[in-house]
């Protein structure tokens, strides 16, 4: 069995980069055997920003450089792995690698979601693939599943819990009754949240992944600026308790849904999900993606969404494909020039709306009257007695609303806010039936 060695250039040697080194050291022979000699890989160059930084892994010192472009320019490097994060430096590195005809493997979802249009154009022009299995859901092979296993299906919907940090925080708020700040601190203490948790909790980490899944499933590049994103920062224990009382859990859901007119809606936001739905049982830092295809039906992909081993495993999977020389999938290339992204105001679900109102007769009728004028039906109301504050002059009133366009709901709530019975702005959650 003859084989040639593919030289690998690593840009970044943090948690994931050192994990790639570890897997190749431990299982290089296994990978070669399983690929029948088509995937023999050797790391030739490692680019880092700081040579003195303490790192895992035992890579020889002579492989390291602080000039990241050496990872691309080194003639012994055949495939470039980008693991430095961010967008500016990463974009330059990936673009130059593609222009040099060197396939790229990346785990950088923000880069692809925000500047993928440019990079995929370069990939197409140079006939050089870019792979990004590690960019979505860590060790879950969801990209290849959509690209390859489901190629014969129209993808009707994708619903995912694809940010483990937010999922852990919401679980602790649910199970332990913690407030958001306390649950976030616990996530940081356990190493589940970064020192700067912004992208995890504001929804954008999950949204970037959903954008990539939507682009692959529907064949056109999606402008991230047109995607609706809300995070978990304003979720309160009160709403989580109301959700539980009504038979729901609160999850940060990323959704890509095709409509009958050929458009797709894509959004990421905390939502009410029935306790009986399979995604409701996804807890901790685990990820899960439920996909519905017109011939496949429903399928669930579940596993660890982050961490050294799972993410590095996905990088290795892409490296094996890249080193084989196959350009069948070209990483990802859009097969449509454009597509119809449904405006968020035109998307429709049922809703949970909580109103803080003065405790006086006629409040329900006042709010119901405004909703009726906007042709929004009410499926139920809920207002528990506050045993801790029986003499309070305001009360929390929950309305469960029938399905209607989000834009119509916003118009109605703008009118409700003008009522003198409200003490604060309404709180809205979508109720997802999936």
At 430 the three-state DSSP class reads strand
Residues 148, 320: Cα–Cα separation, whole Å: 16
Which residue spans within 294-347 are E strands per DSSP? 297-304
Burial 144-162 (b: 16+ CB within 10 A, else e): bbbbeebeebebbbbbbbb
Domains 5-135 and 345-432 alike in fold: no
Torsion over CA: 32, 38, 41, 47 (sign) = negative
Class of domain 142-304: alpha beta
CA distance 180 to 172: 9
Are 301 and 289 within 8 A, CB to CB? yes
* pLDDT by residue, tens only, the chain of 434 residues: 345 789 999 999 988 999 999 999 999 889 888 888 777 899 999 999 888 787 776 889 999 999 999 999 999 999 999 999 889 999 999 999 999 999 999 999 999 989 988 999 999 899 999 999 999 988 899 998 998 889 899 999 999 999 999 999 999 999 999 999 999 999 999 888 887 899 899 999 999 999 999 999 998 889 999 999 999 999 999 999 999 999 999 999 999 999 988 899 999 999 999 999 999 999 999 999 999 999 999 999 999 887 888 889 999 999 998 888 765 555 566 777 788 999 999 999 999 999 999 988 889 999 999 999 999 999 999 876 554 555 567 789 999 999 999 999 999 999 999 999 999 999 999 999 98
Q: Which residues are the active-site residues?
A: 209
Domain 5-135: homologous superfamily in CATH: NAD(P)-binding Rossmann-like Domain (3.40.50.720)
Element (H, E) at 126: helix 109-126
List the one residue out of 91, 138, 131, 130 whose CA is nearest residue 110. 91
Cβ–Cβ < 8 Å for 195, 325: no
Backbone angles phi, psi at 134, to 5 degrees: -70, -10
Distance CA 380, CA 232 (A): 25
Tell me the CA distances in angstroms from 168 to 107, 175, 189, 308, one per residue in order: 22, 10, 12, 18
pLDDT, residue 1, reads 39
Do 82 and 331 form a contact (C-beta atoms < 8 A)? no
pLDDT at 392: 62
- Asked if CATH classification 3.30.70.260 holds for the domain at 345-432, the reply, yes or no, is yes
End-to-end CA distance of the chain: 49
Q: What is the pLDDT of residue 333?
A: 65
* Domain segments of the chain as ranges: 5-135, 142-304, 345-432
Distances 283 to 189, 197, 286 between C-alpha atoms, Å: 18, 19, 6
- What torsion do the CA atoms of 167, 169, 172, 174 make, to the nearest 10 degrees? -70
């Amino acid at each position: 069995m003859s084989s040639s060695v593919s030289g690998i250039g690593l840009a970044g040697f943090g948690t994931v980069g050192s994990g790639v080194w570890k897997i190749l050291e431990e299982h290089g022979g296994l990978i070669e055997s399983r690929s029948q000699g088509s995937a023999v890989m050797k790391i030739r160059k490692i680019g880092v920003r700081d040579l003195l930084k303490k790192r895992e892994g035992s890579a020889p010192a002579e492989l390291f450089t602080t000039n990241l472009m050496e990872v691309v320019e080194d003639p012994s490097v055949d495939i470039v792995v980008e693991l430095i994060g961010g967008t500016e430096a990463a974009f330059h590195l990936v673009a130059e690698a593609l222009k040099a005809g060197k396939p790229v493997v990346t785990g950088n979802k923000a880069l692809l979601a925000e500047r993928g249009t440019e990079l995929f154009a370069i990939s197409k022009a140079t006939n050089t693939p870019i792979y990004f299995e590690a960019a979505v859901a860590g060790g879950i092979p969801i990209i290849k599943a959509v690209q390859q296993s489901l190629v014969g299906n129209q993808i009707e919907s994708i619903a995912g819990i694809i940010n483990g940090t937010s999922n852990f925080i919401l679980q602790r708020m649910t199970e332990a009754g913690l407030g958001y700040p306390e649950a976030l601190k616990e996530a940081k203490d356990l190493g589940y949240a970064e020192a700067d948790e912004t992208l995890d909790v504001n929804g954008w980490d999950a949204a970037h992944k959903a954008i990539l899944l939507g682009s692959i499933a529907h064949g056109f590049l999606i402008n991230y600026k047109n995607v609706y994103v809300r995070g978990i920062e304003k979720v309160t224990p009160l709403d989580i308790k109301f959700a539980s009382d009504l038979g729901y859990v609160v999850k940060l859901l990323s959704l890509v849904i095709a409509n009958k007119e050929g458009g797709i809606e894509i959004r990421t936001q905390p939502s009410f999900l029935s306790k009986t739905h399979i995604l409701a049982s996804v807890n901790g830092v685990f990820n899960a993606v439920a996909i519905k295809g017109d011939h496949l039906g429903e399928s669930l992909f579940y596993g660890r969404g982050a961490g050294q081993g799972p993410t590095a495993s996905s990088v290795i999977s892409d490296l094996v494909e890249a080193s084989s020389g196959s350009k069948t999938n070209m990483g990802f290339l859009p097969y449509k020039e454009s597509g119809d992204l449904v405006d968020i105001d035109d998307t429709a679900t049922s809703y949970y709306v909580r109103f803080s109102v003065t405790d006086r007769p006629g409040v329900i009728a006042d709010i119901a009257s405004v909703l009726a004028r906007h042709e929004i039906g009410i499926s139920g109301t809920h207002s528990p007695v506050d045993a801790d504050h029986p003499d309070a002059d305001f009360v929390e009133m929950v309305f469960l609303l029938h399905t209607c366009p989000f834009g119509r709901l916003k118009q109605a709530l703008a009118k409700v806010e003008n009522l003198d019975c409200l003490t604060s702005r309404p709180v809205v959650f979508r109720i997802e039936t999936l």
